Amino acid sequence: MTAGVCGLALAATLTAPAQAHDQGSGGGKTPHWELKDSGTDVRFRGLSAVSRNTAWLAGSKGTVLRTADGGRNWRNVSPPGAAELEFRDIEAFDGRRAVVLAIGEGEASRVFRTEDGGATWTESFRNTDAKAFYDCITFFDSRHGLAMSDPVDGKFRILSTRDGGRSWKVLPSAGMPAAQTGEAGFAASGQCLVSSGPRDVWLATGGAARARVLHSSDRGLTWTATDTPIPAGDPARGVFAVAFRDRTHGIAVGGDYRADQASPQAAATSRDGGRTWTTAGTPPPAYRSGVTWLPHSRTSALAVGPTGTDLTTDGGRTWRTLETGSYDTVDCTPDRACWASGEKGRVARLER
């Protein structure tokens, strides 16, 4: 089965008429999130899915977990002495190599790296600028990656690595547009900074008059900023996550994270690499913090948030709700597995 046919088959399964989740060996099954027991109650906003069997979680209280058996067992591989840190993003290359980001003001923002499945960790970056607050990281390949901080002296700050996260340096800010008053990234799902291909990267913002997506085609040296139709004008509103299936086709999700506030126009799409954005005709019904394209699909994606999971099969133009469970972030893998994680230790794998 080709990659494209695999993606179509998965999307078709997701949109099939609902049946009982499990009707016995002879019954059908509808696609649903199957919860896995993480053995903890921390909130996992950081998720990196490697395959159907292997996934990494990063969360509060300095917690990092790893599974190698599809979520049946989770090993606590947290860096020693990290209990006071808030891990919000993790990027794993395989079952042994991963880079995790801790967020916060000043020295609370740190990066750790492991090469042995979390048995040992090396702290490869500690922020020393009291004005910086790092939110997200992304990797183009196993060597080249970026991390982003909220604006420092009026511009978003970009950190770069060329050796897989072993060392980092701040990139020059000359190619970064000025930030709006109050503009920042949301460290809600590890998806406020995402890449596609060897050089393209996008940065999602909120908290200001306009919710924007910034794009760089040279690994973070120069950027262009574009307004999106996702509601802004308040510190709680904006673009919380973006996903690009290639350097052209993207989806942005967000809204207002406050539970008592509506989030109309909570999703938008781009077909030109983020230069322009169009509001979804039928958006998710509420704020969404995470989004990912289904593997090998040109038209299907999942979005998640505290009130549910939504599916699009037309490139983000229309969405429908699959489930109402709470998740913060979502990630899919080349072997057609999708994972989600969130509050109270919740982690699940999509089962069909």
Query: Which tens digits make up the pLDDT trace of 36-87?
Result: 999 999 999 999 999 999 999 999 999 999 999 999 999 999 999 999 999 9
Task: Spell 183-201 as b/e; 16+ CB within 10 A means b.
Answer: bbbbbbbbbbbbbbeeebb
Give the percent of the chain with pLDDT over 70: 91
Degrees (nearest 5) of the Cα angle 79, 81, 86?
Answer: 70
| pLDDT the model gives residue 22 | 30
> CA–CA separation, 232 vs 263, rounded Å?
10
Neighbours of 84 (CB within 10 A): 10
> What tens digit of pLDDT does each residue of 75-115 get?
999 999 999 999 999 999 999 999 999 999 999 999 999 99
| pLDDT the model gives residue 17 | 38
| pLDDT the model gives residue 352 | 82
> Rounded to an integer, what is the distance from CA 345 to the centroid of its chain?
17
| pLDDT the model gives residue 14 | 58
Neighbours of 237 (CB within 10 A): 23
| pLDDT the model gives residue 11 | 59
> What tens digit of pLDDT does each residue of 326-352 get?
999 999 999 999 999 999 999 999 998
| pLDDT the model gives residue 122 | 98
| pLDDT the model gives residue 18 | 36
Query: Please, which pLDDT band fits residue 236 given cuts at 50, 70 and 90?
Result: very high
| pLDDT the model gives residue 31 | 79
DSSP 8-state class, residue 96: S
CA atoms within 13 A on the CB side of 121: 22
Query: Which contiguous run of DSSP H or E holds residue 88?
Result: strand 86-92
CB contact at 8 A, 194 and 244:
yes
The maximal CA–CA distance of the chain, rounded, in angstroms, is 63
Query: Please, which pLDDT band fits residue 225 given cuts at 50, 70 and 90?
Result: very high
Tell whether the model's pLDDT for residue 278 goes beyond 60.
yes
Tell whether the model's pLDDT for residue 223 goes beyond 90.
yes
| pLDDT the model gives residue 13 | 52
Q: Which residue has the tokens 């948030």?
A: 305
17/159: higher pLDDT? 159
DSSP 8-state class, residue 282: B
Q: Which residue has the tokens 């406050």?
A: 258
CB contact at 8 A, 206 and 184:
yes
Mean local confidence (pLDDT), 310-319: 98
Give the percent of the chain with pLDDT over 90: 91
> What tens digit of pLDDT does each residue of 241-258 get?
999 999 999 999 999 999
| pLDDT the model gives residue 12 | 54
For the chain, what is the mean pLDDT? 93
> CA–CA separation, 309 vs 284, rounded Å?
9
* Residues present in the chain in total: 352
Mean local confidence (pLDDT), 148-167: 98
